[in-house]
Structure 1
Amino acid sequence: MANGTASTVINSTFIQDDIQGSTDKQSLVNASLTDIGIDSTFAMTEFNISLTEITEAIDSAKEKLSSDFFLSDVERFSRDAASMLQNQTDDVNNIEIVSYWVIAMEDGISEYFSSDTCVSFLDCAHYAVASLYEIVMPSTDLLNKNDILESISAFEDIFLTLTSNDSLTILEVYEMSEGLMDHLGAINDANVFCSTPPASMYPLKNQTAVAGQTFHLVCNATGSPPPTFIWFKNDEQITNSSTNMMLTFHNVTSSDEGSYHCVASNLVTSLIMMQAYINVTEKDEIFDISTFTPNIEGADGMLH
């Protein structure tokens, strides 16, 4: 509602400036050749009129401006038109649009709130803001909790000012409505209420890695928005690891042996995955069936 009306008010201001500027005798008196649109070079080339002749003609015309009744009438009419437009603009700008908006919104509250919850649009609006606080405040794991609370608080401050002051102009209401939309957008972008916390798909398992080879650990967790991951070895964060789901070891050594776990986090909460022990063994310690020669003659004549 404020957007369209504010655009009209702003456009009317530009029109007033154009009216005033186009009929101001003083601006004509002080106008230069460029302002008037005269090219002295073109005048000399095409019409053989010198710069001196042009200047004298313009100065003579300027002297007659003050006594030009037609121009005086045009200036007066324009001044009156600008004044009338200003009065109309002021009237539009002072419309108590918030009062009409609140009345219009009363019909829609039953679609979102029961009569047991709130009884009017403003009552329901305050209830909704309080509900936002109740959802966010108790959360201890919400990663951007302070930013969300700041947006809710700023929204509440603007809304209270907007709905408690009948003397606000259209332009002031428009500016406040823009602020309300910005803060609602920030809360919506945080996606707190449609998000899902990280959930484990498969736990980490104890494994054996072979020295000198490449080895991977996968933190199988999903969530919305997708979580980021922090890896730990022996309960100490691996500072040089990425925040990816997969932790990769290149050229495994015995120093890589230990207990590992990951933490999957999104804006809802963090999930600590169970630990898994990674044992590192030398390649020659692994049983190679290709080097095994079976004893084919047993005492009982059976193949062993």
Structure 2
Amino acid sequence: MPEGHSIHRLARQFQDVFGGQRLEVSSPQGRFAAGAQLLTGHTMVEALAHGKQFFLRFDHGLFLHVHLGLYGAWSFGGDSTFTGSSSIGAPRRIGERESGAGQDDGQYSGPPAPVGAVRVRLVSEHGWADLRGATTCAAITAAEAGAVLDRLGPDPLHNRPGDREEFIGRLRRRKTPVALLMMDQSVLAGVGNIYRAEVLFRQAVDPWTPGSGIDVDTAGRLWDDSVRTMADGVRDGRIVTTPPSLWSGGGGLPRDADAHFVYKRQGLPCRACGTAVGVTEIGARKLYWCPGCQV
């Protein structure tokens, strides 16, 4: 599923193309018809992201709450004002690369006929956005949005005062392996399988160390590196955790094969020590790590 950097990029995109605009909200599929009726005709005031949770706040106090999950995706299209938008969501590619949205080169005449099971369609004067396949899609109150946020840990992409200390405390109170805690959204919001594997490698942390066995300095480094790598993901629209010195070829960002230290590199030599990168399953997800560096 999309990791936190993609959801923050999505929020920025919605703010850019729909912020302050009156939206027509519908549910071509029909599953969100009641929620659409509560939101349609109102102005989208703010787009918000926390971890993997996404919210659109409307002027009458209600929110559209979306969690894309494994299969959710947003697609966009419209006139020339939508040139900055891109489709985000399933199917995922290595590094969670986005695809460009469709712009109408001629006179924009409105959105096309819905294709597939479109749960929600948002339409403004200049463009549209379609949501398909999301795990969560609901019209909720401010109190209900607050309850969702209260269940989440700090988000490295907000990095607010006290967040670092909050993460350290939540991590070190648990005896669960750190590899699971890094993806526990109540401990750290927004980190998924790629960032989990890469940050643990970059900080040379044994994935099976219990949270209570992680010292304060190491826990702080895990937070700092999550902040750094996820901010890069927001900037680049991709997850790249390796330095340019390891990239082959020219140009800006690396090819997929050079973008990560351990993620999906099982059996290949570690870029640092040469040991074959390992893969196993933990918490029903694949974990990639270096048995030589992370001991």
Q: Same fold by TM-score, threshold 0.5 exceeded?
A: no
Structure number with bigger Rg: 1
Structure holding more helix per residue: 1
Structure holding more strand per residue: 2
Higher relative contact order (CA 8 A, sep 6+): 2
